[in-house]
């Protein structure tokens, strides 16, 4: 099954995303902030998908998306954030995010988009 890196600094949101994805059989690794995310990405660039928040300590989600795209890491990225204004969404997509969801997480929406990006429809 696909391997997904979830980058989220809020513990409750980590657990929600992790639970939704694990129930579908995905292997999930959780990074608690931007620094932890960089560490995971440098250790193992073989994730099939990244799900990231925007507002986090040490490196924000925009920086994570830029890092993935600039280093040509072969993984799609979904931003899941409470920041829901048009400018934030546009910025995330312009930087290379493949999708953008707003919190609170709706399990069916997250799974639909994960499956689409992993070509599992």
Domain boundaries, the chain: 3-118
Looking at residue 34, its pLDDT comes to 94
- CB atoms near residue 54 (< 10 Å): 21
> pTM of this prediction?
0.94
User: How far is Cα 90 from Cα 106, in angstroms, rounded to an integer?
Assistant: 21
pLDDT tens string, the chain, 121 residues long: the values are 899 999 999 999 999 999 999 999 999 999 999 999 999 999 977 899 999 999 998 999 999 999 999 999 999 999 999 999 999 999 999 999 999 999 999 999 999 999 999 997 5
What is the CATH code of the structural domain delimited by 3-118?
3.40.50.2300
Looking at residue 10, its pLDDT comes to 95
């Amino acid at each position: 099954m696909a391997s997904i890196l979830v980058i989220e600094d809020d513990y409750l949101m980590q657990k929600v995303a992790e639970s939704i994805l694990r129930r579908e059989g995905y292997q999930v690794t959780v990074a608690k902030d931007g620094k932890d995310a960089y560490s995971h990405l440098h250790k193992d660039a073989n994730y099939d998908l990244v799900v990231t928040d925007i507002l986090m300590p040490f490196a924000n989600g925009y920086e994570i998306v830029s890092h993935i795209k600039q280093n040509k890491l072969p993984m799609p990225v979904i931003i899941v954030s409470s920041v829901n204004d048009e400018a934030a969404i546009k910025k995330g997509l312009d930087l290379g995010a493949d999708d953008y969801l707003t919190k609170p997480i709706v399990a069916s929406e997250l799974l639909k988009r994960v499956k689409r990006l992993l070509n599992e429809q």
